[in-house]
């Protein structure tokens, strides 16, 4: 087994009351892919910050390989003080790092690098932060909710990028499909302590359930043993006094263990308040369209949504999902076409931005400032009782919202939305920041909702478990509705993932699309703008790849490399083969364009 690059052991941290971390451990070696999982508020982000050196534990041992580089992706990146995205990303590079990798990542994440930080959307800021973290190719990458605000196309690209990297990766995510595809080990943080499974997340839930069942059996056995000892205490004190005192001490220890046992945290109680039934036809859109300047967001889209349907909207950030959603619900008028809403609609909306007043208290937020009670499903309920359904403590009723974690804030906003009577539920990115257990219950709620659901999400597993059809973009403002969930949509598209479609529609800068290659071979009067740009930039790219090849060859030339790290040696060989193939492709492309340029100038 390779020596650890990072090792945390016996980590303890408390902010008063019950310890947040109580003997937690975490270790990573080269090539590890570790999913760090646990309930909201269990301390996952704190443990990751301790690993990154941003938080000091009160007790425990922290080891970081002195030569190892660590990069940490926070949930909310701080880009203040940077003039552009490129400046922000390149600041993360070390003296020996390749600056061309920063350009590669910026381009592949759909940015130009010239954007100013204050103009970025949530998804764009997340992509910029990912580029900054991945650009140096660090030894250890710590990712806290990397898929939040990312579209499906970028999530699929990130899966591939993590699969290619030789870095050790520890990540926190709520996205089941993402975790299943990238993880090779799982660390479960539960009640301040960690357990490790040397298998990916796909095996985690069965393993967790088995542990909890064994724990419940052990507690039941302990309780029965205490009953037997108490019976002896009452009726059997006739043996030698010394033995009796020892047995009495054992009984007190058992009572203390039973009282001090922290059982698993309860489940959120999710239930939507039902309104009167809507009409059979909920929404009818006929040939609707929307343009912003020269950009066509929606072009000639029609649909009929009946009561009970659960519709998922997917697509890249900026494709127009929220615009289409607003037109379907009547919040935004289409430029052309018409939208007809059915009768008796009562709409409850979970907005993607989730704007709240951070100084408002939880109780005031849930009741809209109307006292201590609210009406849920026609019954008056005290706000503290309703808060308990969403795992908030009674004393938190007067806590400002700013004190909540991201997951707690998501639960709070969901609680307020579900309290309102509705027969049309509109959910824009509802899965962000929710833990697995809450996601399971939200899936059940959506799947069993008596009314109609319109759902925007990038969570493929959530879509597969909840929706009856998917609306996805097909380029040029065209949107197509597919029966079934996300996987069914892929099957109807011929199995092509969104990331693969991007490669077909928007080729990487290192190779020309097939269409462009055909244009390059065909007679033309002058080079296109893209061809000219490629001729100008290809030499720099060839130079960068050549430098990378030299670096890899230097590593392989080290006679101790294979003995020290056989796995790393094989990965370096594979990376070298890949870079050589890339160099060959770049040189062929440049030669073809150069010959075409000479031919045009000669004619």
Bigger pLDDT: 406 or 115? Answer: 115
pLDDT at 522: 38
CATH number at residue 350: 3.40.50.300
pLDDT digits (tens, 9 = 90+) for 414-425: 888 888 888 898
* Strands (E) located in 180-225: 185-190, 193-197
pLDDT at 518: 38
Over 70: is that where the pLDDT of 6 sits?
yes
Question: Is residue 309 within 8 Å of residue 146, measured between CB atoms?
Answer: no
Residues 534 and 455 both lie in one domain: no
Residues 377 and 431 both lie in one domain: yes
Which of 229, 260, 291 finishes a domain?
260
18 within a domain of the structure (yes/no): no
User: What letter would DSSP give residue 277?
Assistant: -
Residues 313 and 345 both lie in one domain: yes
pLDDT digits (tens, 9 = 90+) for 538-577: 888 888 888 888 888 778 777 677 777 878 877 888 887 7
205 within a domain of the structure (yes/no): no
Query: Residues, the chain, total?
Result: 603
372 within a domain of the structure (yes/no): yes
Residues 333 and 472 both lie in one domain: yes
pLDDT at 509: 35
pLDDT at 95: 84
Q: pLDDT band for position 521 (50/70/90)? A: very low
Residues 554 and 592 both lie in one domain: yes
Q: CA nearest 418: which of 272, 311, 261? A: 272
For range 26-52, the mean pLDDT: 92
Residues 318 and 460 both lie in one domain: yes
For range 27-56, the mean pLDDT: 92
Bigger pLDDT: 302 or 399? Answer: 302
Over 60: is that where the pLDDT of 179 sits?
yes
Least confident of 253-257, 310-314, 464-468: 253-257
Which tokens in the block code for residue 130?
């990912």
Residues 449 and 324 both lie in one domain: yes
Which of 260, 289, 321 finishes a domain?
260
Phi first, then psi: what are they for 142, rounded to 5°? -110, 115
Residues 360 and 434 both lie in one domain: yes
Bigger pLDDT: 267 or 120? Answer: 120
pLDDT at 599: 66
pLDDT at 446: 85
> What's CA 170's distance to the chain center, in Å?
13
32 within a domain of the structure (yes/no): no
- Round to whole Å and give the CA distance between 234 and 247: 13
Least confident of 278-287, 307-316, 320-329, 584-593: 584-593
Over 80: is that where the pLDDT of 69 sits?
yes
Q: pLDDT band for position 216 (50/70/90)? A: confident
Average pLDDT, the chain: 82
Residues 464 and 398 both lie in one domain: yes
Bigger pLDDT: 117 or 511? Answer: 117
373 within a domain of the structure (yes/no): yes
Specify the pTM. 0.67
pLDDT at 513: 34
Overall number of domains in the chain: 4
314 within a domain of the structure (yes/no): yes
Rg (CA), the chain: 29
pLDDT digits (tens, 9 = 90+) for 234-246: 655 554 444 565 6
- Round to whole Å and give the CA distance between 85 and 88: 5
Q: pLDDT band for position 510 (50/70/90)? A: very low
CATH number at residue 546: 1.10.287.380
pLDDT at 71: 94
Bigger pLDDT: 257 or 312? Answer: 312
- Round to whole Å and give the CA distance between 480 and 472: 6
pLDDT at 512: 29
pLDDT digits (tens, 9 = 90+) for 375-416: 877 788 888 888 887 778 888 888 888 888 777 787 888 888
pLDDT at 144: 93
Residues 220 and 331 both lie in one domain: no
For range 521-525, the mean pLDDT: 42
Q: Which residue segment(s) compose the domain that 233 sits in?
A: 216-260
Residues 555 and 584 both lie in one domain: yes
Question: Is residue 506 within 8 Å of residue 325, measured between CB atoms?
Answer: no
Which of 88, 108, 138 finishes a domain?
138
Over 70: is that where the pLDDT of 354 sits?
no
273 within a domain of the structure (yes/no): no
Half-sphere exposure of 397 (CA within 13 A, CB side): 16
35 within a domain of the structure (yes/no): no
pLDDT at 480: 92
Q: pLDDT band for position 520 (50/70/90)? A: very low
Residues 431 and 579 both lie in one domain: no
Over 50: is that where the pLDDT of 331 sits?
yes
In the chain, pLDDT over 70 holds for what percent of residues?
A: 83
In the chain, pLDDT over 90 holds for what percent of residues?
A: 31
Phi first, then psi: what are they for 236, rounded to 5°? -125, 25
pLDDT at 240: 43
Bigger pLDDT: 32 or 371? Answer: 32
């Amino acid at each position: 087994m390779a020596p650890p690059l990072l090792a945390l052991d016996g980590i303890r941290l408390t902010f008063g009351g019950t310890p947040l971390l109580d003997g937690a451990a975490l270790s990573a070696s080269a090539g590890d892919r570790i999913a760090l999982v646990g309930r909201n508020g269990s301390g996952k982000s704190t443990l990751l910050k301790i690993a990154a050196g941003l938080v000091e534990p009160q007790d425990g041992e922290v080891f970081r390989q002195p030569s190892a580089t660590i990069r940490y992706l926070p949930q909310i990146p701080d880009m203040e003080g940077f003039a552009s995205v490129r400046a922000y990303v390149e600041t993360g590079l070390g003296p020996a790092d390749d600056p061309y990798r920063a350009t590669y990542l910026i381009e592949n994440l759909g940015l130009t690098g010239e954007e100013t930080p204050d103009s970025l959307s949530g998804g764009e800021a997340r992509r910029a932060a990912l580029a900054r973290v991945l650009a140096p190719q660090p030894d250890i990458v710590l990712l806290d909710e990397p898929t939040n605000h990312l579209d499906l196309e970028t999530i699929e690209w990130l899966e591939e990028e993590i699969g290619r990297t030789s870095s050790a990766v520890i990540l926190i995510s709520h996205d089941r499909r993402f975790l299943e595809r990238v993880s090779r080990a799982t660390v479960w943080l539960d009640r301040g302590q960690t357990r490790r499974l040397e298998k990916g997340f796909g095996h985690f839930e069965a393993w967790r359930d088995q542990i909890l069942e064994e724990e419940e059996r052990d507690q039941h056995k302990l309780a029965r043993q205490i009953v037997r000892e108490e019976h002896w205490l009452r009726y059997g004190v006739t043996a030698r006094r010394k033995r009796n005192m020892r047995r009495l001490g054992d009984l007190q220890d058992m009572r203390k263990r039973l009282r001090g046992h922290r059982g698993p945290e309860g489940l959120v109680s999710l239930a939507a308040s039902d309104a009167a039934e809507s009409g059979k036809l909920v929404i009818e859109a006929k040939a609707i369209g929307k343009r912003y300047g020269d950009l066509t967001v929606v072009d000639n889209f029609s649909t009929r949504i009946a009561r009970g349907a659960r519709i998922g909207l997917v697509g890249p950030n900026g494709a127009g999902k929220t615009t289409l959603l607003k037109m379907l619900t009547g919040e935004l008028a289409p430029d052309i076409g018409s939208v007809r809403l059915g009768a008796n609609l009562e709409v409850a909306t979970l907005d993607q931005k989730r704007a709240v007043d951070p100084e408002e208290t939880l109780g005031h937020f849930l009741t809209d400032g109307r006292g201590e009670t609210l009406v849920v499903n026609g019954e008056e309920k005290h706000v503290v009782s309703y808060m308990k359904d969403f795992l908030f403590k009674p004393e938190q009723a007067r806590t400002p919202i700013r004190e909540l974690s991201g997951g707690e804030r998501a639960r709070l906003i969901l609680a307020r939305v579900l309290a309102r009577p509705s027969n049309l539920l509109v959910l824009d990115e509802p899965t962000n920041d929710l833990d697995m257990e809450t996601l399971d219950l939200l899936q059940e709620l959506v799947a069993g909702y008596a009314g109609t659901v319109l759902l925007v999400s990038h969570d493929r597993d959530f879509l597969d478990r909840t929706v009856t059809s998917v609306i996805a973009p097909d380029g040029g403002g065209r949107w197509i509705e597919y029966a079934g969930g996300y996987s069914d949509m892929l099957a109807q598209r011929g199995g092509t993932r969104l990331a693969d479609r991007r490669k077909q529609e928007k080729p990487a800068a290192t190779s020309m699309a097939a269409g462009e290659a055909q244009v390059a071979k065909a007679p033309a009067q002058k080079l296109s703008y893209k061809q000219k740009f490629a001729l100008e930039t290809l030499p720099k790219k060839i130079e960068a790849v050549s430098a990378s090849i030299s670096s890899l060859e230097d590593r392989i030339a080290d006679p101790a490399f294979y003995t020290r790290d056989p796995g790393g040696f094989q990965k370096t060989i594979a990376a070298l083969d890949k870079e050589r193939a890339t160099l060959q492709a770049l040189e062929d492309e440049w030669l073809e364009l150069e010959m075409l340029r000479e031919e045009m100038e000669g004619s």
